[in-house]
């Protein structure tokens, strides 16, 4: 069990800078969610993390050490795009895994195949997208990995099997494994992850513990008697990250406890003051497209 440090990692493909000076610390035993729009650099970061792509600059360390073959034995990777062989069946893939990983557990593999109702004799060619995802997950968890790198592991799975994968992640984390996870389904990350980073255009634009990000960010909304609101004092307030006014409504996105500012708005003459909690999706959208966030909040209330 070791901390994974990604230190000033950059990766370019020709002129395209896919990962741009990324520094992330993944605490040992945590479930770390990597979020970001398509093309943000998540998959490239994973490949550099695992040594499957050579970083242009920067480095990755596992517990302070570079990645070595013995360490690789304890890492399971579920890639975004299936690397299964079309002409092979489930049992043959598991046999391949058994020969590669000393930690492979036959009984565990059987149990996992049953969990996802997979037929070991079925060829990949005949499998649905969901079955392929499930087989990749079975192969990953059958080696009792200490580190799991999961790139969209639940894509194509039905809600029951998605939940089963989340529970496997949670069980592994409870036993001390370190999990790095990407998913477009923010709700899943919100459940399983304790830390996240948001990538956009190859850069980290937000990172932290999920609970802290939620505690730290709130919207304080005040409705004033007229559209003339004295904002000068607020503009200098370092607790305020964003300030939006539309007509008589003033909305502050704040990065501190909202209590004080709610009272400030009240003293400024606001007739109504509310403190709104932000969930991970709000925080994510706010980070990747700051202007969309306001519209969403208005719609949602």
Partner 1 sequence: MPAIFTVDPRSGVPIYLQLIEQVKRSVALGVLAPGEQLPTVKQLAVDLTVNPNTVARAYRDLEHDAVIETAPGRGSFVRADGVAKQTRAATDVAGEAVTQAVREAKSLGLSAAGVRTLFESALARWFPEEK
Half-sphere exposure (Cβ direction) of 117: Cα atoms closer than 13 Å: 6
Q: Among 68, 117, 128, 175, indicate the residue that binds partner 1 (CB under 8 A).
A: 175
Number of residues that bind partner 1 (CB under 8 A): 36
Q: Does 281 bind partner 1 (CB under 8 A)?
A: yes
Which residue in this structure is represented by tokens 């400030």?
Answer: 264
Q: Is 174 in the site for partner 1 (CB under 8 A)?
A: yes
Q: Please tell me whether residue 171 binds partner 1 under the rule CB under 8 A.
A: yes
Q: Is 144 in the site for partner 1 (CB under 8 A)?
A: no
User: Which of these, 230, 231, 232, 251, lies nearest to 242 by C-alpha position?
Assistant: 251
Taking CB under 8 A as the rule, does residue 208 contact partner 1?
no
Examine residue 206 and tell whether it contacts partner 1 (CB under 8 A): no
The yes or no reply on residue 255 touching partner 1 (CB under 8 A) is: no
Closest contact distance (angstroms) between CB of 118 and partner 1 is: 22
The total of other beta-carbon atoms located within 10 Å of residue 160's CB is 9
> Minimum distance between the CB of residue 278 and partner 1, rounded to whole angstroms?
5
180 binds partner 1 (CB under 8 A): no
User: In the window 50-109, what residues touch partner 1 (CB under 8 A)?
Assistant: none
Binding piece for partner 1, criterion CB under 8 A, among 40-48, 85-93, 209-217, 248-256 = 209-217
The rounded distance, in Å, linking the Cα atoms of 156 and 159 is: 9
Query: Which residue of 100, 117, 271, 289 would you call a contact of partner 1, by CB under 8 A?
Result: 271
210 contributes a contact to partner 1 by CB under 8 A: yes
In angstroms, the Cα distances linking 186 to 39, 117, 131, 293 are 17, 26, 22, 15
Distance in Å, CB of 27 to partner 1, minimum: 9
Classify 274 as helix, strand or coil. Answer: strand
The answer to the question of residue 300 lying near partner 1 (CB under 8 A) is no
Identify the residue among 21, 29, 51, 82 touching partner 1 (CB under 8 A): 29
Q: Are 243 and 235 in contact (CB under 8 A)?
A: yes
Judged by CB under 8 A, which of 21, 73, 105, 194 binds partner 1? 194
Binding segment toward partner 1, per CB under 8 A, in 57-65, 71-79, 93-101, 271-279: 271-279
Q: Binding of partner 1 at residue 277 (CB under 8 A)?
A: yes
CA–CA gap between residue 142 and residue 108 (Å, rounded) = 6
Nearer to partner 1 among residue 123 and residue 274 (C-beta): 274
Q: Residue 246 and residue 235: Cα distance in Å, rounded?
A: 16
CA distances from 16 to 43, 81, 121, 139, 168 (A): 15, 21, 43, 33, 36
- Report the residue number, 255 or 279, with the smaller CB distance to partner 1: 279
Taking residue 182's Cβ as centre, other Cβ atoms within 10 Å add up to: 22
CA distances from 28 to 136, 180, 206 (A): 24, 11, 20
Can you list the alpha helix ranges (DSSP code H) found in the chain?
42-49, 69-72, 90-100, 106-115, 129-141, 159-174, 186-192, 210-216, 232-235, 259-267, 280-288, 290-300
Nearer to partner 1, 140 or 173 (CB): 173
Q: Which residues bind partner 1 (CB under 8 A)?
A: 29-31, 163, 166-167, 170-171, 173-175, 187, 190-194, 210-212, 214-215, 218, 262, 266, 271-274, 276-282
């Amino acid at each position: 069990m070791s901390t994974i440090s990604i230190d000033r990692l950059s990766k370019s493909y020709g002129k395209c800078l896919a990962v741009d000076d990324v520094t992330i610390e993944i605490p040992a035993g945590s479930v770390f969610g990597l979020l970001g729009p398509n093309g943000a650099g998540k998959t490239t970061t994973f490949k550099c993390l695992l040594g499957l792509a050579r970083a242009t600059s920067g480095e990755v360390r596992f517990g302070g050490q570079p990645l070595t073959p013995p360490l690789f034995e304890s890492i399971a990777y579920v890639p975004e795009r299936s690397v299964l062989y079309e002409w092979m069946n489930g049992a043959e893939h598991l046999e391949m895994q058994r020969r590669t990983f000393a930690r492979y557990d036959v009984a565990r593999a059987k149990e996992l195949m049953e969990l996802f109702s997979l037929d070991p004799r079925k060829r990949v060619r005949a499998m649905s997208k969901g079955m392929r995802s499930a087989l990749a997950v079975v192969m990953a968890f059958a080696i009792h990995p200490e580190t799991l790198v999961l790139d969209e592991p639940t894509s194509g799975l039905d809600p029951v099997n998605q939940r089963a994968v989340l529970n496997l992640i949670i069980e592994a984390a409870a036993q001390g494994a370190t999990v790095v996870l990407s998913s477009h389904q923010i709700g899943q990350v919100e459940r399983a992850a304790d830390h996240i980073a948001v990538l956009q255009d190859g850069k980290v634009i937000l990172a932290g513990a999920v609970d802290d990000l939620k505690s730290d960010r709130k919207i304080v909304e005040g409705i004033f008697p007229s559209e003339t609101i004295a904002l000068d004092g607020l503009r200098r307030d370092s607790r305020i990250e964003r300030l939006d006014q539309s007509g008589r409504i003033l909305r502050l996105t704040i990065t501190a406890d909202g209590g004080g500012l709610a009272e400030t708005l009240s003293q400024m003459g606001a007739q109504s003051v509310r403190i709104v909690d932000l969930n991970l999706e709000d925080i994510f959208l706010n980070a990747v497209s700051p202007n969309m966030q306001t519209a969403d909040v208005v719609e949602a209330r």
